[in-house]
Amino acid sequence: MAAQIRFPGLEAALNDWETLLGTEAVTRDAERLAARSRATFATPNTTLAILRPADTCQVRRCLNIARRYRVPVYPVSTGRNWGYGSMALPGDGGVALLLDRMDRILDYDPELGTVTVEPGVTQQQLHDFLREQGDHFWLDVTGSSPHCSVLGNSIERGFGHTPYADHFAHVSGLQVVTGDGTVLETGFGRFENARAAAAYKWGVGPYLDGLFSQSGLGVVTAARLWLMPKPEAFTYFQVSIRDDAELEPLIDALRELRMAGHIRSAVHVANPFKVYSAMESYPWEQMNGETPLDPDIVRDHLDRLGIGAWSFSGALYGSREQIRVAKKAIRRRLRASLDVCQMRFMSVERLTTLERFKRPLGRLTRLPLDQMLAFMRALFGIKQGVPTDAMLPSTYWRKREPPPSDPDPDRDGCGLFWCAPVAPLKGADARTMVAIANEVFARHGYEPMLSMTVISERALDNVIALHYDRDIPGEDARAMTCYQELLERLMDAGYYPYRLGIQSMETLRARSGKGWNHTLARIREALDPDGILAPGRYPA
Amino acid sequence: MAAQIRFPGLEAALNDWETLLGTEAVTRDAERLAARSRATFATPNTTLAILRPADTCQVRRCLNIARRYRVPVYPVSTGRNWGYGSMALPGDGGVALLLDRMDRILDYDPELGTVTVEPGVTQQQLHDFLREQGDHFWLDVTGSSPHCSVLGNSIERGFGHTPYADHFAHVSGLQVVTGDGTVLETGFGRFENARAAAAYKWGVGPYLDGLFSQSGLGVVTAARLWLMPKPEAFTYFQVSIRDDAELEPLIDALRELRMAGHIRSAVHVANPFKVYSAMESYPWEQMNGETPLDPDIVRDHLDRLGIGAWSFSGALYGSREQIRVAKKAIRRRLRASLDVCQMRFMSVERLTTLERFKRPLGRLTRLPLDQMLAFMRALFGIKQGVPTDAMLPSTYWRKREPPPSDPDPDRDGCGLFWCAPVAPLKGADARTMVAIANEVFARHGYEPMLSMTVISERALDNVIALHYDRDIPGEDARAMTCYQELLERLMDAGYYPYRLGIQSMETLRARSGKGWNHTLARIREALDPDGILAPGRYPA
């Protein structure tokens, strides 16, 4: 009812959309809309309708209808943006433009390793496709679901694990529909006959792709992506250092190794809570049903496994000789300045052997090898571009019941906020971020799960997960308070998030330079004069 | 006089600019203006005045005056854009905003290797600064003059030689003044207290840097740049293959080596004219004063040196062990499929030894070792980030007199066009580009000097130089006709230039998608409503 008052043209727009797309591609059913407006935290708006266009032409015509009736539309790739708002809409609500039906792989160059995908192409789909094509190139995947959109993550500037971890850096052109209904190709793709459209990123003249990443300035209907050449050899590594006090030299050592080219991919540094939760469920019994988790329980468990205060994992990619040289340099550099309590390098062959002998080895070592090896196999896969749903159950961390066989955090009331501030790749900055997170979480009664990712030679992305149980009355509000405080404290200290959840879109404006806000607002008006495309999404 | 009619506010604007900047920072002298309106080819306009602001605030106020009186201004960093228009203005002329007085290095992070520079900072200046700071990081230089602007080349998306060859890819934020007088910082720099402004490229929300590269959308008054960590070891290599017919497998081999990470930097593949002209002046005597150069003379000369149809050079950067592994892989891969007639890997130590014994060695080998080693020393330097003016004399190729001790191609009537089309990194595409260049140049009576640069795992940039003598009547027009035909033929075949000279700004519009043109035009109107900033520079 309120929607009719705010958007008087809604009903007429819905009729036009139904005529354009067919009724089966327009969701108006209240229950289904409510379900897809749920996220892993409290969301204020119910999506008014879901439109599912089949191609770029339909997207353009959907926007034209939106303009005619002044109803805002929000593009969504597959709607699995967990921890950042799932498929719920930011701002004051509107209609979702769900692009999951646009799921074609439009072209593939087996020499250059380039591919053009639509927004509905999932990690699993592209991975399967590349396998079918002979497994010459790998996708860089995120740890999220196999059913997440590849394009969506790329233009949201997500990151993964391999040397191609920076997803937006490996985009070489977009097809975009802007708010005024214009369809454009960026890069050399703007020339119909260009040979290097997929091969070269910048094109000629202004480079426009960046405008359409983390923005509401356009609906991206296709993206050209670069894929990682499959290396001759691969070695996974995991290292653990004993003392918390050595976080600073550890981060500095990783910077040196990355700058020297011994490590060329993302490295994930985890705190004990993160390591524990990756292997164990919340120990409700031991904790007598209480929260937050006692750090001593975590410590005891990790001690038994020989795991120290900070652990990190990564992988080496290249020829056997390249890997041998890198391994030696990493070993030497880490042992030189750190109290390393565990350092394992593992090829696929060695993991397979361990798996074969896990029973006798388990008895011998008294370690839960089953569990450890299963988890390691998933990590191996992720670092080789194999999507996995092994991480999804971790969203059930604070739930009393174990995760179901078909996990769906939105449906099941799994509370989750991601907060991902970026710092310079320096030990002192890592320490400051960790201290802020620990202090805020402790005060609010949550256990901070930290995974700091070395995403480049110079930057560290601290991905902080706040898990809670949405079914406990009052927890939605308490967790939101904790999250907001965490974000504000981090920004006060100079650590800004690399991306935003739908609940935080307004938090940057006051801190942002006036010139930037003005410029973005002017661009927005120019490309979307009626203000119908994703208002409130990364606004000025 | 014509200028007064076209820009009735010019005189008043000049008075205001003089009041703002002081008369010594405003050039109105006709002779000096004519000199700085000259390029290495015919340019139709004389710059109406040159303004030299000292800081960002003055830039902003210069633009405000330009708006008040509707006089267009064109930012220029140091005005050494040789081959693409030097300091002459595109479009119908206007006032140059020369930023050479803004020459401060604003900050430097010795751990992360980041630096913030103003537009007037030259390659030599930054190189000297880094040496003073302990030589921990290297600049990636172009082969142009030591006095060229680092920032200018970066936002024009130029490229160099090392693993940091793609200059714009190593920019992590800009300070910009837009046509409406707004000052903004991009990336995380938009937040005053951001810790990762220099360390992280994308910031949060839309990434705007690309808008201000190759564009007239803003005056870039500072740029944050990433510098290359100085490697433990360095090895230069040059390779020559005998047969022209092997160009295709050569390019494909380079792609494989680059994709496998054995080569991580730019590789420059040169044709015989290019190699010859790098070592010799035009053999006027032997040619009886005729042009174009007889290929047989080139062939004879190169045969004596053992140089084949295609030669390429590059370098390896890393630890001694990394380099050893790469060397082995390169040797093996090239020898496996190519008729290699020369393959030299050379460390700094080995070059120094050769230099010491060049006299006896020269007598023994009957090679012009003096010349060869001097040239190699310059190439070594370039690949280590040492700026050089060793390339500048080559702009005098078609001049009858040898280059003076203070070369200045604009002053001395050296004719030069660069045309730099991009292709996918595939042998067949390289062949097509080369065939087009050869055919067009032969028909017009010039010798094509080709240097194809492997600028990434996927793209090849064919830098084609057209040299002529501007002092020969009619040559300006003849060379321009040749250049235009070359560019059109290449674009017809799908090979578009990575950047444009001032004479070609209008050539793309008709080939470019309507949606792209419309979108860029809308952005331009939004950021520069009075159309006073660099109209005609990379227009829609």
> What pLDDT digit, counting tens, does each position of B273-325 carry?
999 998 889 999 999 999 999 999 999 999 998 999 999 999 999 999 999 99
Same domain, A220 and A255: no
Read off the tokens for A61.
């015509």
Other CB atoms within 10 A of residue A59 CB = 26
ipTM of the prediction greater than 0.90, yes or no: yes
Q: Looking at residues B36-43, what average pLDDT do you find?
A: 96
Taking a C-beta distance cutoff of 8 angstroms, is the pair B80, B145 a contact? yes
Check A114 against B511: CB less than 8 A apart.
no
CA distance B353 to B358: 9
| Angle, CA of A442, A444 and A446, to the nearest 5° | 65
- Give the domain CATH number at A215: 3.30.465.10
- Spell out which residues of chain B touch residue A113, defining contact as CB-CB under 8 Å: 259, 457-458
| Per-residue model confidence (pLDDT) at position B232 | 96
CA distance A483 to A502: 13
Q: B462 - beta bridge partners?
A: B452
Q: B74 - beta bridge partners?
A: B96
Q: What is the mean pLDDT of chain B?
A: 95
CA distance A186 to B215: 15
Check A184 against B261: CB less than 8 A apart.
no
| Per-residue model confidence (pLDDT) at position B363 | 86
The strand ranges marked E within A390-525 are 414-419, 422-424, 449-454, 459-469
- Among A195, A229, A263, the domain boundary falls at A229
Q: Is A521 part of any domain?
A: no
Q: Looking at residues B16-36, what average pLDDT do you find?
A: 97
Residue A382 pLDDT greater than 90, yes or no: yes
Same domain, A39 and A171: no
> What pLDDT digit, counting tens, does each position of B363-408 carry?
888 877 887 788 788 889 999 999 998 888 899 999 999 999 999 9
Q: Is A498 part of any domain?
A: no
Taking a C-beta distance cutoff of 8 angstroms, is the pair A177, A227 a contact? no
Residue A532 pLDDT greater than 60, yes or no: yes
Q: Identify the three-state secondary structure at position A200.
A: coil
* Nearest to A32, CA basis, from A79, A92, A101, A67: A79
Taking a C-beta distance cutoff of 8 angstroms, is the pair B58, B49 a contact? no
In sequence order, which residues have a C-beta less than 8 Å from that of residue B102 and are 6 or more positions away? B53, B54, B55, B56, B59, B118, B119, B120, B221
Helix (H) or strand (E) holding A174: strand A171-178
Q: Is B136 part of any domain?
A: yes
Please state, for a pLDDT cut of 90, what percent of chain B lies above it.
90
Taking a C-beta distance cutoff of 8 angstroms, is the pair B152, B122 a contact? no
User: How many domains does the structure of chain B reveal?
Assistant: 3
Read off the tokens for B139.
């600049």
DSSP string, B232-284: SEEEEEEEEES-GGGHHHHHHHHHHHHHTTS--S-EEEE-HHHHHHHH----T
On whether any CB of chain B is under 8 Å from the CB of A173, the answer is: no
Same domain, A398 and A486: yes
For residue A120, name the pLDDT band (cuts at 50, 70, 90).
Answer: very high
> What pLDDT digit, counting tens, does each position of A317-340 carry?
999 999 999 999 999 999 999 999
Which of B178, B200, B214 has its CB closest to that of A205?
B214
Secondary structure of B102-152 in the HEC alphabet?
A: CCCEEEEECCCCEEEECCCCEHHHHHHHHHHCCCCEECCCCCCCCCCEHHH
For residue A53, name the pLDDT band (cuts at 50, 70, 90).
Answer: very high
For residue A2, name the pLDDT band (cuts at 50, 70, 90).
Answer: low
Same domain, A337 and A481: yes
Q: Is A191 part of any domain?
A: yes
Please state, for a pLDDT cut of 90, what percent of chain A lies above it.
89
The number of helix segments (H) and strand segments (E) in chain A equals: 16, 19
Q: Looking at residues A229-240, what average pLDDT do you find?
A: 96
Same domain, B278 and B387: yes
CB < 8 Å from B in window 321-350 of A: 321-322, 325, 328-329
Which of B190, B195, B207 has its CB closest to that of A210?
B207
For residue A373, name the pLDDT band (cuts at 50, 70, 90).
Answer: confident
Give the C-alpha distances (Å, rounded to integers) separating A498 from A166, A438, B201: 12, 20, 10
In sequence order, which residues have a C-beta less than 8 Å from that of residue A526 and are 6 or more positions away? B522, B523, B525, B526
Taking a C-beta distance cutoff of 8 angstroms, is the pair B265, B315 a contact? yes
CA distance A248 to A238: 18
Burial class of A407 by CB neighbour count within 10 A (0 to 12, 13 to 18, 19+): middle
| Residue the block writes with tokens 């050494």 | B80
CA dihedral B325, B327, B329, B333 (to 10 degrees): 180
The strand ranges marked E within B378-486 are 414-419, 422-424, 449-454, 459-469
| Angle, CA of B221, B223 and B226, to the nearest 5° | 165
| Per-residue model confidence (pLDDT) at position B379 | 87
Check B209 against A210: CB less than 8 A apart.
yes
Please state, for a pLDDT cut of 70, what percent of chain A lies above it.
100
| Residue the block writes with tokens 């890819």 | B169
Same domain, A222 and A359: no
Burial class of B163 by CB neighbour count within 10 A (0 to 12, 13 to 18, 19+): buried
Same domain, A250 and A199: no
CA distance B185 to A22: 46
Ramachandran area for residue A174 (φ above 0: left; ψ -120 to 50: alpha; else beta): beta
- Among B229, B263, B298, the domain boundary falls at B229
| Per-residue model confidence (pLDDT) at position B91 | 72
| Residue the block writes with tokens 């992590």 | B172
Residue A261 pLDDT greater than 90, yes or no: yes
**Which of B320, B458, B512, B520 is the best substitution to test chain A (most A C-beta atoms within 10 A)?**
B458
Q: Is A533 part of any domain?
A: no
| Per-residue model confidence (pLDDT) at position A143 | 86
- Give the domain CATH number at B61: 3.30.43.10
Check B204 against A259: CB less than 8 A apart.
no
Which of B188, B495, B515 has its CB closest to that of A183?
B515
Read off the tokens for B538.
């990379």
* Nearest to B45, CA basis, from B99, B5, B85: B85
How many angstroms away from the CA of A107 is the closest CA of chain B? 15
Please count the residues of chain B: 540
Check B496 against A184: CB less than 8 A apart.
no
> What pLDDT digit, counting tens, does each position of B160-201 carry?
999 999 999 999 999 999 999 999 999 999 999 999 999 999
CA dihedral B531, B534, B535, B540 (to 10 degrees): -110
Taking a C-beta distance cutoff of 8 angstroms, is the pair A431, A248 a contact? yes
| Per-residue model confidence (pLDDT) at position B6 | 86
For residue A362, name the pLDDT band (cuts at 50, 70, 90).
Answer: confident
Same domain, A79 and A28: yes
Q: Looking at residues B442-460, what average pLDDT do you find?
A: 97
Other CB atoms within 10 A of residue B147 CB = 16
Q: Is A524 part of any domain?
A: no
Same domain, A83 and A135: no
CB pairs under 8 A between A and B: 301
For residue B3, name the pLDDT band (cuts at 50, 70, 90).
Answer: confident
On whether any CB of chain A is under 8 Å from the CB of B289, the answer is: no
Same domain, B141 and B187: yes
Report CA A50 to chain centroid distance, whole Å.
23
In sequence order, which residues have a C-beta less than 8 Å from that of residue B194 and are 6 or more positions away? A494, A496, B188
- Helix ranges (H only) for A386-500 are 427-444, 475-492
Give the C-alpha distances (Å, rounded to integers) separating A406 from A40, A85, A412, A418: 16, 20, 10, 22
CB < 8 Å from B in window 412-441 of A: 422-426, 429
Q: What is the mean pLDDT of chain A?
A: 95
| Per-residue model confidence (pLDDT) at position B143 | 86
Q: Is B533 part of any domain?
A: no
Give the C-alpha distances (Å, rounded to integers) separating A107 from A200, A468, A540: 16, 42, 35
For residue B2, name the pLDDT band (cuts at 50, 70, 90).
Answer: low
How many angstroms away from the CA of B380 is the closest CA of chain A? 20
Confidence (pTM): 0.97
For residue A364, name the pLDDT band (cuts at 50, 70, 90).
Answer: confident
Residue B438 pLDDT greater than 90, yes or no: yes
| Per-residue model confidence (pLDDT) at position B39 | 96
| Per-residue model confidence (pLDDT) at position B125 | 98
- Give the domain CATH number at A324: 3.40.462.10
Query: Which has the minimum average pLDDT: A86-95, A107-116, A396-405, B368-377?
Result: B368-377
Same domain, B326 and B399: yes
CA distance B73 to B17: 12
CA distance A102 to B323: 46
Q: Is A128 part of any domain?
A: yes
Taking a C-beta distance cutoff of 8 angstroms, is the pair A416, A395 a contact? yes
Residue A268 pLDDT greater than 80, yes or no: yes
Check B261 against A260: CB less than 8 A apart.
no
- Among B98, B121, B151, the domain boundary falls at B98
Same domain, A297 and A415: yes
Residue A53 belongs to domain spanning: 2-98
For residue A433, name the pLDDT band (cuts at 50, 70, 90).
Answer: very high
Q: Looking at residues B231-241, what average pLDDT do you find?
A: 96
